[in-house]
Amino acid sequence: MTNADPTNTSAMSTAAPPVTHYENFPVASFLCPPKLRPAVAAIYWFARTADDIADEGQAPAQERLGDLAALRADLAAAARNLPTSPRWPHVFEPLRVEIQRHALPEQLLADLLDAFAQDVVKTHDGAGYAGRAQLLDYCRRSANPIGRLLLHLYGVNDAVSLSQSDHICSALQLINFWQDLSQDIPRGRFYLPLHDCESHGVTQDDLLRLQTSPQTTQLVAGEVHWAREMMREGAPLVHALPGRAGWELRLVVQGGLRILDRIESGGFDSLRSRPKLRRRDAPIILWKALWM
């Protein structure tokens, strides 16, 4: 498929909508090369739509799973340049274009849907993750595909870079979990590994009370340390990406680390409140990004 002419209004209609949801980390920011912004936005809206199906509203689990299956069927059609259903034109019209233009790997996009479906089932059952290995397997499908898709767009495909990207993306997913404990747990989402909880003497009932104790403080502190070390293992990737991409990634890495700093400065009390980035964090993030 040829590139769309920016002066052609019919071609412009296939562009993904702008990003309007609150995000901790940059999405298709001004640092992203303009030629790649449509692809980044299309990937974002695909993932955002699937996440909303899995997570928003009051639909029962079976309806959510059915909608995710329908989204998967439309993804398969779009990947083969076949007609899709009329349900999500704002997702699949631009995504079809970008899949054809950049040869985006279908499996990476499908992995995201598999992770969202797993979230639906676990939330319905109130189930958690036995250990860190199980949680990282979830991250492999829920977060790592985004990094690999971006590396694909930048033409970076060596094993070291892919591994470092996986570390960064898994760390970002873990950071999001530890940031959102006060919101996820009341909704039946338990991401704190059960083995870690048991080793600190913390039960699921303790978590449901959303009360801080020496045991929960030590538990969250351990998870924050884990996420920080994982992020640091992936951070050298910022030097492997060219130009703007490297600077974008520096801000992503430092933004994630800054949230961990906020959790720590709050006494690891994210069971009761959700720390997030504010305007005053921007100079600190930028300064640390400069010195990576």
Quick one: pLDDT at residue 14? 53
Quick one: pLDDT at residue 2? 32
- Alpha carbons 279 and 83: distance in angstroms, whole number: 44
Quick one: pLDDT at residue 93? 96
Instruction: Kindly state the average pLDDT of the residues 92-96.
Output: 97
Quick one: pLDDT at residue 33? 80
Regarding pTM above 0.85, the answer is yes
Tell me the per-residue pLDDT of 128-182, one tens digit each, with 9 for 90 and over.
Answer: 999 999 999 999 999 999 999 999 999 999 999 999 999 999 999 999 999 999 9
Q: Which of 21-30, 50-59, 73-82, 101-110 has the lowest mean pLDDT?
A: 21-30
State percent of the chain over pLDDT 70: 89
Go through the domains of the chain in sequence order and give each one's CATH number.
32-125 (no CATH), 129-292 (1.10.600.10)
pLDDT band at 9 (very low <50, low <70, confident <90, very high): very low
Please spell the DSSP secondary structure of the chain, one letter per residue.
-PPPPTT-HHHHTTSPPPP-S--SS-SS-TTS-GGGHHHHHHHHHHHHHHHHHHHSSS--HHHHHHHHHHHHHHHHHHHTT----TT-HHHHHHHHHHHHHHT--HHHHHHHHHHHHHHHHHHHHT---SSHHHHHHHHHHHTHHHHHHHHHHHT---HHHHHHHHHHHHHHHHHHHHHSHHHHGGGT---S-HHHHHHTT--HHHHHTT---HHHHHHHHHHHHHHHHHHHHHGGGGGTS-HHHHHHHHHHHHHHHHHHHHHHHTTS-TTT------GGGHHHHHHHHHT-
Number of Cβ within a 10 Å radius of residue 102? 17
**In the structure encoding, which two tokens stand for residue 229, read together?**
């070390």
